[in-house]
Amino acid sequence: MKKFALLVSVGLLGACANLGSQPPVPVTSPVVQAFRDICLQTAPSFAEAHRVARQHGVTEMTDMGFATVGFNADKSLSIQVKVSHECVVTSEAQEDDSLTRQLLSAAAINAGTTVPRKVPVRMMIAGQPFILMHDREGGEAFVMLKPE
């Protein structure tokens, strides 16, 4: 029985090693910087997200009823904000393999915690739980939403 307990303990420790943190990377991508400013820094309410988005060139904004969406002039950057629930920044596809690490570094700095290894990740930001994602299908989508 002791051998079994030892084997289980070693297995669990090995699994936890993969869930640890990674060193932060500099946030150099303009789209990750926009996500940091528009979403991370206006959380948890996102009430100021529209104002901050204007600083990143997002001037066309439309209230769609379920959320407000906006674009910059050439449509290369867009936002979707549902106040107190969700904030998304999207862009065209980028050839930068560090974007997810940059997102996680920006979120960790904002949350005052270590940098997670992968997305999706659940983090406490401004004292409230959020799920962060980076979807690369058809472009770049950086997503921050409150869990239901």
Residue 8 covered by a domain = no
Helices (H) and strands (E) counted in the chain, each on its own, are 4, 9
Domain of 93? 30-145
Residue 14 covered by a domain = no
Residue 10 covered by a domain = no
Residue 17 covered by a domain = no
Per residue of the chain (148 residues), give pLDDT as tens.
444 333 334 344 333 434 578 999 999 999 999 999 999 999 999 999 999 999 999 999 999 999 999 999 999 999 999 999 999 999 999 999 999 999 999 999 999 999 999 999 999 999 999 999 999 999 999 999 999 8
Residue 5 covered by a domain = no
Say what the pLDDT of residue 66 is. Answer: 92
Residue 19 covered by a domain = no
The model carries a pTM of 0.84
Residue 120 covered by a domain = yes
- Please name which of 68, 43, 36, 71 lies closest in space to residue 57, comparing C-alpha atoms: 71
Beta strand segments in the chain, E: 21-22, 58-63, 68-72, 77-82, 86-91, 115-116, 121-125, 128-135, 140-145
Total domains present in the chain? 1
Whether the Cβ atoms of residue 143 and residue 88 lie closer than 8 Å to each other:
yes
